[in-house]
């Protein structure tokens, strides 16, 4: 996958979903052709959901594709707010072997231990001496400019000594604790696909594309690394000009 940064603008939600599915599918096929396995890290949220559903309808090397998660809330996998549960429902039409799913254990009473356990899992799957380089990693951006579960003003975007971090609850914002991949893992992905739609995202997308402190605008971390970065936006979210 070639490096670089580009912005694709979809006319509407349906085209955004179609383009998202196509980009993920191409990355999967290229990875399997090159290395015999594709490794995908998924984010939750409503924006990528339709892309995942369209992806599930395609003919892909499902048995050679492994599925991981970018972040997870501290809930059980069958909870309505579980990123894992939502993605599994979106991908239900695809014939993916059960052993190809590697979820974060958000329901663990010991989130720090769960984060360390997921890091060990990543090291085992990618190889202890190898970089953890996902073939495609999907991301969203929040109204506060967070991505993954790296929230502004918490220092989470600056974590560099771990692959996976436990993020404390933020009661003032109504946010439960989380598990999340850290910036170095996000930046190492061969394809970083950030999806955003709606006029409400226009300002934070514009901020994320500018240089500046990542603790203020955590989504800026996606611009680091040598992989390809695609901003996939609908017309309302796209920055004017």
pLDDT over threshold 80, residue 224: yes
CA distance 165 to 227: 22
Q: What is the pLDDT of residues 101-127, one digit of tens each?
A: 999 999 999 999 999 999 999 999 999
* Mean of all residue pLDDT scores within the chain: 96
pLDDT at 1: 40
pLDDT over threshold 60, residue 128: yes
pLDDT at 3: 78
CA distance 175 to 169: 6
Domains and CATH numbers, the chain: 4-234 (3.40.50.1360)
pLDDT over threshold 80, residue 129: no
pLDDT over threshold 50, residue 186: yes
pLDDT over threshold 60, residue 2: no
CA distance 91 to 233: 22
pLDDT over threshold 70, residue 240: no
pTM for the full predicted model: 0.96
Tell me, what DSSP letter sits at residue 167?
E
- 41 and 68 Cβ atoms separated by less than 8 Å: yes
Q: Is 227 exposed, middle or buried (0-12, 13-18, 19+ CB in 10 A)?
A: buried
The set of residues, in sequence order, having a beta carbon less than 8 Å from that of 195 and lying 6+ positions away, is 16, 20, 47, 48, 51, 138, 139, 140, 232, 233
Share of the chain above pLDDT 90, in %: 93
- Mean local confidence (pLDDT), 65-79: 97
pLDDT over threshold 70, residue 49: yes
pLDDT over threshold 90, residue 45: no
pLDDT over threshold 80, residue 241: no
Token pair 């901020």 in the structure block, residue: 207
- 204 and 142 Cβ atoms separated by less than 8 Å: yes
Q: What is the pLDDT of residues 147-183, one digit of tens each?
A: 999 999 999 999 999 999 999 999 998 899 999 999 9
């Amino acid at each position: 996958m070639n490096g670089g940064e580009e912005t694709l603008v979809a006319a509407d939600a349906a085209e955004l979903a179609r383009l998202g599915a196509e980009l993920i599918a191409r990355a999967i096929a290229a990875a399997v052709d090159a290395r015999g396995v594709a490794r995908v890290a998924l984010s939750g949220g409503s924006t990528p959901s339709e892309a995942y559903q369209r992806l599930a309808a395609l003919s892909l090397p499902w048995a050679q594709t492994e599925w991981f998660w970018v972040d997870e809330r501290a809930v059980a996998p069958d909870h309505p707010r579980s990123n894992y549960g939502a993605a599994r429902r979106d991908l239900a039409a695809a014939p993916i072997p059960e052993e190809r799913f590697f979820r974060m254990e958000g329901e663990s009473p010991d989130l720090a231990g769960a984060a360390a356990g997921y890091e060990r899992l990543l090291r085992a799957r990618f190889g202890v001496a190898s970089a953890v380089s996902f073939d495609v990693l999907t991301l969203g951006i929040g109204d506060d400019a967070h991505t993954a579960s790296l929230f502004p003003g918490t220092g989470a975007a600056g974590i560099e000594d771990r692959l996976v971090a436990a993020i404390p609850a933020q009661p003032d914002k109504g946010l439960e604790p989380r598990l999340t991949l850290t910036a170095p893992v996000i930046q190492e992905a061969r394809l970083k696909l950030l999806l955003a739609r709606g006029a409400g995202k226009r300002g934070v997308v514009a901020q994320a594309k500018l240089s500046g402190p990542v603790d203020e605008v955590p989504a800026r971390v996606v611009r680091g690394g040598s992989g390809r970065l695609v901003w996939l936006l609908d017309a309302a979210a796209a920055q004017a000009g």
